[in-house]
Amino acid sequence: MKRILALASAAALAAELSVMTTAAASPSTGGDYCAVKIEELGSTSTPASPVCFETQKGADAYLAAVTSRSSLARAAMASVVLGTVYKDANYGGGSLSFYGSGSCAGVTFGFATLDTAWRNAISSARAYSGCFVSLYSAASYGGTQLMCAPNCATLGPLNDRVLSLVFRPAN
């Protein structure tokens, strides 16, 4: 009986999240304002593809929906925004926000290879939720590294050269 209730709860949660994210905003294939789920470093999960919108408002609505803690069922699975990278210096232009299963308290999250649209396109970065962000000039966290503790308004020699990144605990 407990298993049936758990399965029914999971199905209801999946349906509710689907309706919420669809209602929040309509994703676009070519928008400049994106969000993507990031996994813990070492995860064997396939990296998610960004969901993009034509406006920052659309991306913000999507993030609000996937990080909402408005019901008990969702609270157990709620995500938090870990950080955002931007196409322009000083946090301007298009944005790609990363959300994960929790804060960086004792957990490191990574994206070994950025989506094609974001490779060599990042010019500033911000980290949230107790994170610092490390940016790398090569895939799989290689090459030159820049640590943003927690923010970098400009990236110096890594401007438009970032291929992978890590959100790590701020301590």
What tens digit of pLDDT does each residue of 94-142 get? Answer: 999 999 998 999 999 999 999 999 999 999 999 999 999 999 999 999 9
For residue 99, the tally of other CB atoms under 10 A from its CB is: 23
Q: How many residues does the chain have?
A: 171
Predicted confidence at residue 14, as pLDDT, reads 43
Rounded to two decimals, the pTM is 0.81
Judge whether 88 and 70 are in contact, CB under 8 Å. Answer: no
Domains and CATH numbers, the chain: 2-169 (2.60.20.10)
Residue 77: phi and psi, rounded to 5, are -115, 10
CA 98-40-74 angle, 5° bins: 65
CA angle 150, 40, 97 (to 5 degrees): 50
Instruction: Provide the pLDDT for residue 73.
Output: 44
